[in-house]
Amino acid sequence: MTQKMFILLGFLLLNTYQTLAFGEVFENPFLKFSDDSISQNNQQNRNKSFEIVPAGNGRLQNIPEFPTFTQMRLGLSLNGFAMTDQGRTELALKLGSEKIPLIMQALDNEGLLQEAVRLSKIFQIDPLDILAPIIGENSFNGFIDRTIQDSYHKMIQQSDIEKMSEKMSQITNNTEAQKCLSSNISNYWKWRCVIFYSVNSANNSNGDLIRGFYSFSGPKSGTFGIGQVQPFLLWSLNDIVVAKTKYAKFELNDLDKPMHIIFNNKEMLAYIAANAVVSIQVYKSVAGVDISKNSGLTTTLYNLGDEYKRAYNLKLQKNYSADTMPQVNYMGWYVNTFEQKIRSYLKKYEQNK
């Protein structure tokens, strides 16, 4: 009898736990920021102390693993061949010595180095937070001479914009998404709120829409321009950019404007800057960690996305091991390793700022 009671009690506890877990999964965490925003967080956090992540790659002597797509772009064999840590690092060092001068010169020719220094003052961040993602993306996943000249009309057809706008309307025109969009939160939290509801929808239909958002008839899909960015990401940063610059506001369902922004190199720099601001603030607010001194980390987050999820996971890890710190990925390691080389191209503009 006692054994049966324990079994029944165990079943009830397990059922209760599963119910709580289910509720937590489908309770949208982003609505809790209803009285907050990135800019308000910035003001509140100025008087707080945070654990500062220093510059550099910490104990990582070798570059982390390349993702499969990057291996393919670099022409590495995927048929059972695995590079050693040292071999991968030597390849990265060779790549940096060859490509970074070309990238920096191309950016300078377009006036983008000077613009990055100017924007760094406006957004109060390191200019490397703006330039490093471009350098990383165009070292491993693109070619600067090509991406810097890409244009809207070369890459996108009007029918593509119409398809994207129709999908975005399906994603946003439901009760849950409208609750997100009408909340008193910044665009950043609104968009993540919409994504949360979409991927956790009953039949996952919106999740499928998001995963299949790009279905282009043109030569390229997914990410675009010097920053290799997705257009709907720009709306999540638009309110921050508008507050800091002369650039215009646009609506989430207006997919034409962000696509034009992506191919306007100077304007795109402002959005990369805003992305760094968001990443830094999210890590402060969620994990109590200041990553503003490490451009490799802001580059890592630009490359990987999911700042909130990664900051939240870091917070959980720090509950078990207080000295746990965020780690750079291959792209962050790369730009940290070549930090001084990159900065040498900025000196002439920083002296005049």
Over residues 268-326, the pLDDT tens digits come to 999 999 999 999 999 999 999 999 999 999 999 999 988 988 999 999 999 999 899 99
Give the pLDDT band (50/70/90) at residue 121. Answer: very high
Residue 219 has pLDDT above 50, yes or no: no
Has residue 103 got a pLDDT over 90? yes
Q: Pick the residue with more confidence: 198 or 181?
A: 181
**pLDDT tens-digit map of 165-183:** 888 888 888 888 898 899 8
CB within 8 Å of 117: residues ≥ 6 apart: 127, 346, 349, 350, 353
Helix (H) or strand (E) holding 254: none
**In the structure, what pLDDT confidence band is assigned to residue 128 with cuts at 50, 70 and 90?**
very high
52 strand-pairing partners: 290
pLDDT of the residue at 1? 39
Please state, rounded to an integer, the average pLDDT across all residues of the chain: 81
Position 149 confidence tier, pLDDT thresholds 50, 70, 90: confident
Mean pLDDT, rounded, for 219-247: 84
Mean pLDDT of 52-80: 84
Give which of 125, 154, 127, 167 is closest to 280, Cα–Cα: 125
Report the alpha-carbon distance of residue 196 to residue 203 in Å, rounded. 14
Helix (H, G, I), strand (E, B) or coil at 141: coil
Q: Write down the pLDDT at residue 213.
A: 56
pLDDT at residue 46, as a whole number:
58
Residue 8 has pLDDT above 70, yes or no: no
Ordered structural domains, the chain, with CATH: 64-76+84-149+224-231+245-250+261-353 (1.10.530)
pLDDT of res. 164: 79
What does the pLDDT average to over 255-280?
94
| Interval 63-89 mean pLDDT | 79
Strands (E), the chain: 51-52, 289-290
Q: pLDDT value at position 352?
A: 65
pLDDT of residue 208: 53
Contact 231, 259 (CB under 8 A): yes
Most confident stretch, 152-166, 172-186, 219-233 = 172-186
Task: State the pLDDT at residue 77.
Answer: 53
281 by DSSP, 3-state: which? helix
Tell me the pTM.
Answer: 0.85
- pLDDT tens column, 13-37: 333 323 323 334 445 667 665 444 4
